[in-house]
Amino acid sequence: MNTLKVSQVNTYIKALLDGSEPLRNLFIEGEISNYKLYQPSGHMYFTLKDEKAQLKAVMFSSSAYKLRFTPENGMRVICRGRISVYEKSGEYQLYAEDMQPVGVGALNLAYEQLKEKLFKEGVCDPNRKKPLPEYPNKIGVVTSAIGAAVQDIKNITSRRYPLAELVIAPTVVQGEKAAPDIVRSIQLLDSRGDIDVMIVGRGGGSIEDLWAFNTEEVARAVIACQTPVVSAVGHESDFTICDFVADLRAPTPSAAAELVCPDMNALLNHVRSLQYTAELYISAFVEELTQQLSELTDFSALADGDTLLLPFEDRLTILKNRMDTSFEQRAEIEFHRFSALAGRLNALSPLAVMQRGFAVVKQAVRVITRAADADRNKYLTVAFADGELSCKICGGQDHEQERNEL
């Protein structure tokens, strides 16, 4: 009689199962139960079951970390893997290499799971949102350096509020390297300490293209950021996890630039309005005090000497001195603010640049910035600070060569 050890039997059965071609690559549908994730190994152990039977399963960390979603008890899934035996216990089980939820995509499920988790933590609460600065000096931008988004932000900022400086952190915004690179850029700009507000985003795309902005690592970086963050990912219909945790969501990168940049023309009108209001207020206040003084002077004629009038005169003098001091200080503050803004705006004025010896070259209504853009058969208009000249093009490279020979 040939007697076998238990371990020999289990080894033999394992060899039979491992050698079975049909059992090497199975797709099995079932409901997850007894789910456990062991740390720090990262291995997942669970049971797949249906109405009639159940099957133990394991997914090692090398496969588990690739999952976009978190498995849960009661979730119906399709697992791909192989059947083998765990020799120590003699139990056969499924060694899962991949898992997909039934009825919903893995990305959509991962999105909803993370969204629910963050809302439960309260990090999406409007009360924790930081306000945006009214007049930012430096605006940080986390996006691709070559995409349309960064060009839109540059154009709108220069048009609406050229006083602000854009600090761009070139970032990978799509693919496997995108999420850690976005985190790096956010932390880099936030650590500077001089960024007033930050725009994080990119142009539109599919859910796969935008997925980096749906990851927990990017969400945590935005939550931890001390600088106010405006999320501007995709098109108006795209909502990402980054949108929920940011201090403000903009439907597009262009809209984000509109939100963080005040309108320079509106700002100038506001300054003029404040100046006009202050002048009216000062004038009305002085007139009122003058009227009160006149009434007190008239009343003193009926009183016995200065006895009745003296307390009112002293009080009036004190109030007038306080008023003069207060309004002088306020007027000086507003004057310096207005002067500073006017000086910065004047430095950006094309006329101021022209007064330093520069000129603007136009052909018809088009501004010419390069020699190659000019039509040599048409006249040019050269605008100086004090007038314009109409000029004819005499030559190009040949003319330059002749001039060099002279």
More confident residue, 81 or 277: 81
Say which CATH topology domain 123-260 has.
Rossmann fold (3.40.50)
Residue 402 has pLDDT above 50, yes or no: no
Of 218-227, 243-252, 274-283, give the lowest mean pLDDT range: 274-283
Q: Where are the alpha helices (DSSP H) in 301-359?
A: 310-348, 350-355
pLDDT at site 371: 79
| Per-residue pLDDT at 299 exceeds 70 | no
Contact 139, 260 (CB under 8 A): yes
**What is the pLDDT, as a whole number, of residue 248?**
96
Cα–Cα distance between 283 and 290 in angstroms, integer?
11
383 SS3 class = strand
Confidence class for position 214, pLDDT limits 50, 70, 90: very high
Express each pLDDT in 154-208 by its tens digit.
Answer: 999 999 999 899 999 999 999 989 999 999 999 999 999 999 999 999 988 888 8
- The predicted pLDDT at position 309 comes to 57
Q: Mean pLDDT over residues 209-217, rounded?
A: 94
- What is the Cα–Cα distance from 182 to 186, expressed in whole angstroms? 6
Other C-beta atoms lying within 10 Å of the C-beta of residue 9? 13
| Among 61-70, 232-241, 249-258, the least confident range | 232-241
Radius of gyration of the chain (CA): 37
The CATH classification of domain 6-103, taken from the options 3.40.47.10, 3.40.50.720, 2.40.50.140, 2.40.30.10 = 2.40.50.140
Out of 111-120, 142-151, 198-207, 218-227, give the one with best mean pLDDT.
218-227
Distances (CA, A) of 253 to 106, 111, 217, 303: 28, 22, 21, 74
**For the chain, domain boundaries:** 6-103, 123-260, 264-348, 355-405
How would residue 406 be classed by pLDDT, with cut points 50, 70 and 90? very low
Alpha helices in 22-176 (DSSP H): 61-64, 106-121, 148-160
What are the φ and ψ backbone dihedral angles of 121, each rounded to 5 degrees? -75, -20
Confidence of residue 348 (pLDDT cuts 50, 70, 90): low
pLDDT digits 0-9 by tens, 311-346:
666 766 777 677 767 667 776 776 777 677 766 766
- In terms of average pLDDT, the best of 205-219, 303-317, 343-357 is 205-219
Q: Is the pLDDT of residue 403 over 50?
A: no
- Residue 246, φ and ψ in degrees, nearest 5: -70, 165
Q: Looking at per-residue confidence, does 296 or 117 come out higher?
A: 117
Query: Do 278 and 330 touch, CB atoms closer than 8 A?
Result: yes
Q: How confident is the model at residue 284 (pLDDT cuts 50, 70, 90)?
A: confident
For the chain, percent of residues with pLDDT exceeding 90: 46
